[in-house]
Every structure is written in structure tokens, then in C-alpha cells.
Homo-oligomer: A and B are copies of this chain.
């Protein structure tokens, strides 16, 4: 592993395929029961400026598994309440001299604001509608566990592509790994320069269906969810049309009844909770890779 990760992980674009494969290989070792290294002298500060369950707590669990010490920032209890800026908050934590900052913020490319001003490596745990590198690594490993390979697989990414950092990151990295990515969803969610296909066309030949959460909190006017599942979502009818061996994924949290009907969330094709499980190993592997790149 070279020095690419010594400043942390902002976006997967900065990593070579070899580096990503190395992170995924190590994550798989952790999943297979290889003992995690002991980083009990390391301190991670977790700063989430937007709500999170999966990402936030799986980072914390991964830190626990690595025997690291974790510090949890809570914006409501912080000086943000007295008007302190995001930049100054990050600077304060950098002054504490921890070993790692895990940051989620609603602003796209938030990390550019303090690039060059801090010394602590930062993992981007989601930057607005920008990117979500560790989630995409989770998606890749989940697919790899299923099919044994990535190149050549057909993937449908379905739903709120416009506001999804997961879609952004997945499209880029999946294409780099030789997967064919198709998108589907309501016209309101179409991104400039992309084409949407009817899900009915994709369902028959795609190996992976990635459903995206409708991000109500990022819509300017309230997007209507009436008929959403019928028109753009997965249900038992669509399930019956899926290619043999094809799987359903979703970064979570699922809007049950919207992106998927209730019965599909834990159906035999669903890998939704496998993605959650893989979160621990992937995030442990990323943190280890950063620490190793600092030696």
C-alpha cells in the first residue's frame, strides 16, 4: 500500500483498482475470521453532522473490533450551538491530535474546506449528494461474495440517483471494475447526461439490482411517493421477473413499501442485511489501510 491513503479517504477516484482490491481482500479476510490487528493506542474521532445508523455505528463497532478508542462528536452538545463553524470544529479536533477523523457532512466535498489545514487523516463517511466511498466498497464486496467476480456483471441502480452519493460512487467504481451499470427511476431523479431505462427492461438481465433510498430530506419540494413502488420499485411481481441468481441490494435505510415492498426486505434474493454485516469488515480494512500507509 503506497501513500495515497495517508491523508485518509475522500473519494474512491483517488485509489487505484489495485489498492481497492487490496482493501477488499483484507476486508474479506476479516469476514472470514482472520483476527483484526490491535490498534489500542489509536484514537478515532467520529463527527457526524447528519443522521446515520449503519455508517456511524459500524465505524464505531469496527473501531471496537480493532480495540481502538472512539470519541463521538455530538453537534447538539457542541459549540456549533454557539455559532462555531464547521471548519473551526474540525480544526479543534485536529488539534487534539487523534489518529483518525470520520466525518459525515451535508455539504458536497466538505473535505476541500480544510484540505491542507489539518494533519489528521479523514475518512469521508458521506458528503451530501457527493460520494460515500466506504458504502461502495461494501457494495462491491457483497457482490463479490455472491458471484466471485465483478467484471461483466450487469447492475441496475434504481431510484433517487440525483440525490444519491451511493449512486455517484457506485457508478464510477463499478464501471472501473468492468461492470455494466444501468439506471432507472422517475424522470425527476434523472441526472444530466444519463439515461434512465424502465425497470421492467433491466430486471430480466441484471445480476444486481441496487435500490436507492428516496431521500425526502434532500428534495426541495416534497416528492410524491404515491404509486412509487408500483412504478419504480420492487415488489413480488418484479421479483418473479428477476434473472436466476440475481440479488437485491439497498444501502439503507429502506423506506419499506416504497423502494421495496415489506416482503422483499428479507427475501431470499435480498442482501440488504449482508451489506450491513460487511460494513464492519470493510471499515476495519479501510482504517487499517490508512494506518499502514502512515508508517
Complex-state Cα separation, A96 to B276, whole angstroms: 7
Tell whether A58 is near chain B: CB-to-CB under 8 Å.
Answer: yes
Residues of B within 8 A of A54 (CB): 79, 92
Taken together, the copies of this chain in the complex come to 3
The answer on a CB contact under 8 Å between B280 and A84 is no
Contact of A58 among B48, B61, B96 (CB under 8 A): B96
Q: Kindly report which residue of chain B lies nearest to residue A52, judged by CB atoms.
A: B79
**Interface residue total, chain A, C-beta cutoff 8 A:** 54
Residues of B within 8 A of A95 (CB): 273, 276-277, 279
Contact of A253 among B84, B117, B254 (CB under 8 A): B84
Tell whether A263 is near chain B: CB-to-CB under 8 Å.
Answer: no
Tell whether A57 is near chain B: CB-to-CB under 8 Å.
Answer: yes
The answer on a CB contact under 8 Å between A78 and B51 is yes
Complex-state Cα separation, A92 to B61, whole angstroms: 12
Residues of B within 8 A of A96 (CB): 57-58, 61, 276-277, 279-280
Task: Point out residues on A near B: beta carbons under 8 Å.
Answer: 43, 45, 48, 51-54, 56-58, 60-61, 64, 69, 71-74, 76-85, 88-89, 91-93, 95-98, 117, 213, 215-217, 252-256, 265-266, 273, 276-277, 279-280
